[in-house]
Structure 1
Amino acid sequence: MSATGVSKSIANDRKIEVDSTVITNHKTEIKGKRISYSATTGTQPVWNDEGEAIASLFYTYYQRTDVKNKSKRPLVMSFNGGPGSASVWMHVAYTGPRILNIDDEGYPVQPYGVQTNPYSILDVADIVFVNPVNTGYSRVLPNKNGEMPSKDAQQKMFFGVNADITYLAEWLNTFVTRNERWTSPKYLIGESYGTTRVSGLALELQNRQWMYLNGVVLVSPTEIGIEREGPVESANRLPYFAATAWHHKKLPDDLQSKDLYEVLTEVEDFALNRYLPALAKGAYIGETEKNVTIKKVARYSGLSEKAVRQSNMDISNAFFWKELLRDEGKTIGRLDSRYLGIDEKESGDRPDYWAELTSWLHSFTPAINHYLSAELAYKTDLKYNMFGPVRPWDRSNNNSGENLRLAMAQNPYLNVLVQSGYYDGATNYFDAKYTMWQLDPSGKMKSRLSFKGYRSGHMMYLRREDLRLSNQDLREFINKTLPKEGQPAQYSR
């Protein structure tokens, strides 16, 4: 056979199995207790209205095998974001039974690989990690004539806020049916853009699949369709700036000597009650108020008064990441501002690269590829897409936040937990609080909304102490939102 023929043969075989499962059995220790579990890695089709398979999604499903009554056991359905990101991040760093080999602050160490996660929520819930189309090993399929859909056709089917929600809800219906989980209490957890995804899925599952949830967890949430532009967006950055400046010891001594939470309480009050109104006045702010505001913003952000004034009191994230440690010749990370980078030039108004992302890809990429093949026995020549080709992404008609509110109103069992890292500059924690505040303007469902913050970044679980805390917060959220036997889903007068 010619070299060309060999090359063609290999390429033709490099494709996803449309429907497959591989099951392995394991033991681990969580919170000091030994448990047995199975791991199912596989693919499950996405069908169109004519019943034709148009894509296949790769997933990993963990079940405790030492629990007899599966009907009462919670099921957590986990999604990451991007859009275009695989499920790898929360899978092998947060809730799953195996996590990255990293140091206690989340930095990569060699040899790359995985270790036991002693804090995994697998003790209280089964978990399925889902990779949307073109992420992980998930792929679009050719039609019955062997032809791939056009780029426009693929976008309409998969790559947009509402298309994504629609096909994933159908996929979850099939998954729950195949695995006999209809009677189980169900939870969605999403990270970053995954919060838009699970917020929309909450209502889509209720109204189109008749599947009702007990909880939705928003990890490092996006705006989920709740607008916060102009002065609100600008003012909301300041508490994040203060947290980052505190971490890097750039605040005045009296603030630096306080605990982070004490500092943030003070800065949040200023941001809402002084900074936001000052920004709203724009060019018509009085000179005295402007000078007082500039001094306060400089005090809380760790920047100079000159830099704040030259920014018209409106400091962009990119400028902050470049400016805070400029005199030290360092930049700070976008998704986690504890990470440091070095640029070609100290001048400029934004970093050359994101120090935290390159650090994470160091450890995540080899770990997930090794783990799936060596420990979970899933063999394929497909490339695992850490970030897959899904753009352009249709962001129109994003009503996911309103859909989550409506799902909560319709379902008295449904609760929401928000988790954020204080050093996350991409989806900052104060924006997350603001989103939670605006989610239910009536205030009638406040008791079913909760927020937890952590001393780390976008993936707060990379820091060992926050891995423990955040999993425990999930565990408590799940246990708290399981209704007592016979407790009806109804509102009382």
Structure 2
Amino acid sequence: MRKLPLAAALAALLLSSVAIAGPDKKDDKAKPAAKPDAALVQPQSSTSEGSVSVEGKRIDYKAVAGTLVLHGSGDKEDEPQVSMFYVAYFKKGVDAAKRPVTFIYNGGPGSATVWLHMGAFGPKRVVTADDTHTPAAPYRLINNDYSLLDASDVVFIDAPGAGFSRLIADEADKSKREEQMKDRKKAIYGVDGDGHAFAQFITQFMSKYGRWNSPKYLFGESYGTTRSAVVANILTNEDSVDLNGVILLSQILSFDTSIDGPEFNPGIDLPYELGLPTYAATAFYHHKLPQQPAALEPFLHEVEQYAMGPYAQALTAGSRLGEAQKQAVAEKLHQYTGLPVAYLLKANLRVSGGMFEHELQTGDDTTTGRLDTRFSGPSIDPMGKNSEYDPQSSAISSAYVAAFNDYVRKQLKFGDGQHYRLFADIDHWDSSHKAPGVQGEALQSSTNVMPDLAMAMKTDPNLKVYVNGGYYDLATPYFAADYEDHHLPIPASLDANISYSWYPSGHMVYAHEPSLKLLHDNVARFIEQTDNVGH
């Protein structure tokens, strides 16, 4: 699923509708009809117990699968609007006040948090093939040696409308109900509405489970990093909740840096520059370079310097770039990407993510992955301009979905009779965003939450940020994240509060087991160093 243009991306989400329960006809005359979503307005929960061995250390835990009910604001503060589903794992036998708690969510926007739950930090992990298509069921669900439970309690949260989370429409009349649901979607499905929903969930969760004085962390992946910047600012500056840390995986804060669809935003050449190192890493992995470098990382440092130097200067020149200069740049790009010089010239030196995915292995009628460019698959249309699907997503999604649906019902004892939605039913996502300090209407034409993260860091100068990404991620290239964080509007004294780790993996860093181990060890160390608990 491609990120831009956003409307097209959201149209590709898996669609499903809210089930509407009708009144019991036998009691029609005895009492008024029940409101359709009556069951959603009450929090639900199911508790179970288990244990996990994390790198040889046994951890006993209590698991709670349940829902919290979010309400509106202002004159709608008494209206239940969202039933948010979560799965929380609490380590047994520890002081909760000193025990860190990490709130974890995927992106989308509107994605369920099945990926991080089943692939990264839950107590169970589904086994998938490293860079090829995982065979069909039965899938293996194993002990997760790299669960984050050794360092923190963890709370996996499904976005409104995704997973078992549901928007609430409590009108019995069909026409009023439909209008109310439209109002709910308008209020929730956007950068700001989504951010406030997650912030409200977190404060409610802390009250319910007595975690106000625990060390607190946000962990978001993909659009979840966009969300984390917004939520961090809301919690810090609206709710007076200082966070110990914000952990970002596969970051995108400014959508002007996205390599998906930059041709629709002519004059902004930054995405091509920031995507070039990922093109180089991918060509390196698939042995498509004219001369194969000895090692990946030194090669990428060279490409990064060229991208922000001669390449950026050439693109800035636009139509003023001379033919000889253009030829020289195309030849250099050929050395770094493996794409033919003639193709690069025809593309005017500007290759979008979809074009690269389609062309790198076009001689074999093979499409290169987007979320993880180590993956490949047969091209849908060998004559097309862009890739038509993502081989990595096709390769592993079935395993994650099947494993979670089985696990949540059999082991967590939640969800019987309910449909677990991989994505929310989003007709329109409001990408406009009012950055901190802006008066009046939102001014941005493309979402950029860098000011939100910067505001949270400036108003809480102890806040630490940890950025993680994969070299083979073409959905949110690692060099774009590096660029964004080095351009945050913060004083130089706060630069040291941001740390970085890059991995030989893709968007879902954890889909590569050696990278999952590194990710776990790095995140656990980050929490230990920032939890303000004496060791």
User: Same-fold call, TM > 0.5?
Assistant: yes
Look up the match of 2:223: 193
CA deviation after TM superposition for structure 1 residue 472, in Å: 1.0
Structure 2: 5+ residue runs without aligned partners?
Answer: 1-20, 26-35, 259-264, 436-448
Match of 1:116 in 2: 143
Counterpart-to-counterpart distance in 2, 1:14 and 1:53: 10
Distance 1:89 1:15 in 2: 27
Distance in 1 (CA, whole Å) between partners of 2:340 and 2:124 is: 44
> 3-state DSSP class of the match of 1:438?
coil
| CA deviation after TM superposition for structure 1 residue 227, in Å | 5.8
**1:408 — aligned with what?**
457
Contact 1:106 1:463 in 2 (8 A): no
Q: Which amino acid in the other structure matches residue 359 of structure 1?
A: A
1:107 is displaced (CA, Å) by: 4.7
Mapped pair 1:477 → 2:526: yes
| Superposition pairs of residues 91-170 of structure 1, within 5 angstroms | 91-105=117-131, 107-109=133-135, 110-143=137-170, 148=177, 150=179, 151-170=181-200
Q: Residue 66 of structure 1: SS of its match in structure 2? A: coil
Q: 1:14 to 1:117 in 2, by over 3 A?
A: farther
SS in 2 for 1:466: helix
Q: Deviation of residue 287 (structure 1)?
A: 3.3
TM-score (norm 2): 0.85
The answer to whether residue 286 in structure 2 is matched with residue 248 in structure 1 is: yes
Whether the 8 Å CA contact 1:331–1:342 is kept in 2: the answer is: yes
Q: Cα gap change, 1:198/1:94 in structure 2, threshold over 3 Å: closer, same or farther? A: same
SS of aligned partner of 1:203: helix
Please point out which of 87, 92, 107 is paired with 1:81.
Answer: 107
Q: Distance in 1 between matches of 2:156 and 2:533?
A: 28
Cα separation, 1, equivalents of 2:39 and 2:97? 36
The partner residue of 2:67 within 19, 22, 43 is 43
Give me the whole-angstrom Cα distance separating, in 1, the residues matched to 2:277 and 2:107.
24
Distance 1:95 1:356 in 2: 20
Task: Tell me the alpha carbon deviations over residues 11-39 of structure 1, each in whole angstroms, 9 at most, x when there is no partner.
Answer: x7996573111110101100111110111
The 3 A distance-change label for structure 1 pair 267 and 374 is same
Alignment pair present for 1:18 and 2:45: no
d(CA) in 1 for partners of 2:51, 2:41: 28
Q: Against the structure 1 CA distance between its residues 345 and 175, is the aligned structure 2 distance closer, same or farther, given a 3 Å change threshold?
A: closer
Question: Counterparts of 1:229-268 in structure 2 under 5 Å?
Answer: 230-253=268-291, 256-268=292-304
CA offset at residue 422 of structure 1? 1.0
Structure 1 counterpart SS, 2:193: helix
Which amino acid in the other structure matches residue 243 of structure 1?
A
Which residue type is aligned with residue 92 of structure 1?
M
Q: Secondary structure at the match of 1:136?
A: coil
Question: CA–CA distance in 2 between the matches of 1:346 and 1:425?
Answer: 20
Corresponding residue number in structure 2 for 1:282: 318
Quickly say closer, same or farther: Cα 1:105–1:357, change in 2 above 3 A. Answer: closer
Specify the SS of the correspondent of 2:120: coil
How many residues align? The count is 478
The change in CA–CA distance for 1:9 and 1:419 in structure 2 (over 3 A counts) is farther
Q: Given the two structures, how large is their TM-score scaled by the length of structure 1? A: 0.92
Contact 1:417–1:450 under 8 Å retained in 2: yes
CA deviation after TM superposition for structure 1 residue 309, in Å: 0.6
Call closer, same or farther: CA 1:47–1:122 in 2, change over 3 Å: same
Q: Name the residue aligned to 1:491.
A: none
Task: Measure the CA separation in 1 of the matches of 2:252 and 2:400.
Answer: 23
What is the letter of the counterpart of residue 44 of structure 1?
Answer: L
> For structure 1, which segment, 418-427 or 350-359, has the greater mean C-alpha deviation from structure 2 after superposition?
350-359
Q: Per the alignment, do residues 101 and 17 of structure 1 end up closer, same or farther by CA in structure 2, a change over 3 Å counting?
A: farther
In 2: Cα distance, 1:96 partner to 1:432 partner: 26
Structure 1 residues 104 and 323: alpha-carbon distance in aligned structure 2, compared to 1, 3 A threshold: closer
Task: Specify the code of the residue in structure 2 equivalent to 1:274.
Answer: P
CA–CA distance in structure 1, aligned partners of residues 380 and 99 of structure 2: 53
Indicate yes or no: 2:201 matched with 1:171. yes
Of stretches 371-380 and 284-293 in structure 1, the one that deviates more from structure 2 is: 284-293
Distance 1:480 1:95 in 2: 19
2:128–2:396 contact (8 Å) kept in structure 1: no
Query: Is this contact kept in 2: 1:405–1:440, CA < 8 A?
Result: yes
Counterpart in the other structure of 2:357 = 321
Deviation at 1:103, TM superposition (A): 3.2
More displaced, 237-246 or 144-153?
Answer: 144-153
Counterparts of 1:180 and 1:215, CA distance in 2: 19
Q: CA contact under 8 A between 1:170 and 1:209: conserved in structure 2?
A: no
Q: Aligned partners of 2:336 and 2:177: how far apart in 1?
A: 54
Q: For 1:353-382, what per-residue CA distance to the aligned partner results, in whole angstroms no more than 9, with x for missing partners?
A: 221112222211101100100111113212
